[in-house]
Amino acid sequence: MQFMLLFSRQGKLRLQKWYVPLSDKERKKISRDLVQTILARKPKMCSFLEWRDLKIVYKRYASLYFCCAVEDQDNELITLEIIHRYVELLDKYFGSVCELDIIFNFEKAYFILDEFLLGGEAQETSKKNVLKAIEQADLLQEAIEQADLLQEVRLLTDP
C-alpha cells in the first residue's frame, strides 16, 4: 500500500498516512486531487478506480471516506477488507466511532493504524492483538503521566 487517506464529505482531510517517501508538495497535490475525484463519484459507483499508475480503493463509512492507494498488482478486494478491518478496530477502541473521535484523538487513530499496518503491509491481522498492544501502550503512557504529576506535586510541596 502506498498511502491511506481519511477525509470527510466536505473534503477535509482527517488522517493521512504515507508509506512512500514524497515531498510535502507532492502529498498535498495527490490528496487534493483524490479527494475531489472521489467526492465527485456517485454513491452507487464502484469502489475501485484507476488513478495515475495506482489503484484507488475507497469506501464511505457514515460521513468519512476511507481511501487507500495500492499498486497495480495488488488486490482490490483485500484492500477493501483492510479498510473494513481498520474501521472495526477504530470502532472497538472508541466504541461506536464517529468522525469527531478521530478529529479529537487523531494521534490515537494513528497509533491504531500503526499497530495494524506497518510500512504499508498488514502487520497484525488479529483485532484482539492490535487492541491489546494499544491498550498496553496507553497504560504505559498513563503510568508515566501519573508519575510525572506526582513528581511535580512533590516538588511543589517539598521544595
Partner 1 sequence: MALKIVKGSIDRMFDKNLQDLVRGIRNHKEDEAKYISTCIDEIKQELKQDNIAVKSNAVCKLTYLQMLGYDVSWAAFNIVEVMSSSKFTYKRIGYLAASQCFHESTDVIMLTTNQIRKDLSSPNQYDTGVALTGLSCFVTPDLARDLANDIMTLMSHTKPYIRKKAVLIMYKVFLKYPESLRPAFPRMKEKLEDPDPGVQSAAVNVICELARRNPKNYLSLAPLFFKLMTSSTNNWVLIKIIKLFGALTPLEPLVGTAGSCLSSVSVLISLSSGMPNHSASIQALCIVSRPLSVLSLFVVKYLGLLAMSKILKTHPKSVQSHKDLILQCLDDKDESIRLRALDLLYGMVSKKNLMEIVKKLMLHVDKAEGTTYRDELLTKIIDICSQSNYQYITNFEWYISILVELTRLEGTRHGHLIASQMLDVAIRVKAIRAFAVAQMATLLDNAHLLTGNTQHSGICEVLYAAAWICGEFSEHLEDPMATLEAMLRPKVATLPGHIQAVYVQNAAKLFSTVLCGQEGAPADSKVAQETSQLLIDRLPVFVQSDNLEVQERASCILQLVKYIQKLQQKDVEVAEEVTALFAGELNPVAPKAQKKVPVPEGLDLDAWINEPPSGSESEDEGRKTKGKAVFAREESRHTKPRYTEVDEKELAMRREVRKAEQANNPFYIKASPSSQKVYQEAVGVEHIPVVQIDLSVPLKVPGMPMSDQYVKLEEERREKNKADRKKKDKKKRREKGRQRRGDSGPESEEDITPAHMVDIVTEEMPETALYTIPCLFPSQKSSKHKKKKQKKEKDKKKKHHHHHHSDGAREESVQNGTVEDEEPLPVSKQSPFSLSTQSNPCPLDVCDIQGNLHDGSQVVVSVIFENKCDSFIKSMEFNVMDSLNSKLQRPEGAGPHDSLTVPFHLPPGISSEARFIFSVQSIVMPQKLKGTLTFIVKTEDSSTHEKLDFKLHFTCTSYLITTPCYSVLCPDLNFRLNCFDAYAKLLESGDLKGSSLKLEGINQPFHHLLARICFHHHFSVVERIDSCASMYSRSIQGHHVCLLVKTADQTVSIDAKCDEPGLLRNVLDEIKLTFSQC
Residues that bind partner 1 (CB under 8 A): 13-19, 21-24, 28, 73, 75, 77-78, 80-81, 84, 103-104, 106-107, 110-111, 114-115, 118-119, 121-126, 129, 133, 136-137, 140-141, 144-145, 148, 152, 155-156, 159
> Which of residues 24 and 53 has its CB atom nearest to partner 1 in the complex?
24
The residue (of 62 and 144) whose beta carbon lies closer to partner 1 is 144
Q: Are 12 and 25 in contact (CB under 8 A)?
A: no
Kindly state the smallest distance separating residue 75's Cβ from partner 1, in Å.
5
Shortest Å distance, C-beta 124 to partner 1: 5
Q: Which is nearer to partner 1, 62 or 71 (CB)?
A: 71
Q: How far is the CB of 135 from partner 1 (least distance, A)?
A: 11
Report the candidate in 90, 68, 82 with the shortest Cα–Cα distance to residue 134. 90
Per DSSP, helices labelled H in the chain are 24-39, 76-94, 99-104, 106-116, 127-157
Q: Which three cell numbers stand for residue 144?
A: 508515566
CB of 78 to partner 1, least distance (A): 5
Q: Is the Cβ–Cβ distance between 90 and 102 less than 8 Å? A: yes
Residue type, 134: I
The Cα–Cα gap between 124 and 118 comes to: 9
Pick between residue 19 and residue 51 the one whose CB is nearest to partner 1: 19
Separation of alpha carbons 68 and 73, rounded Å: 14
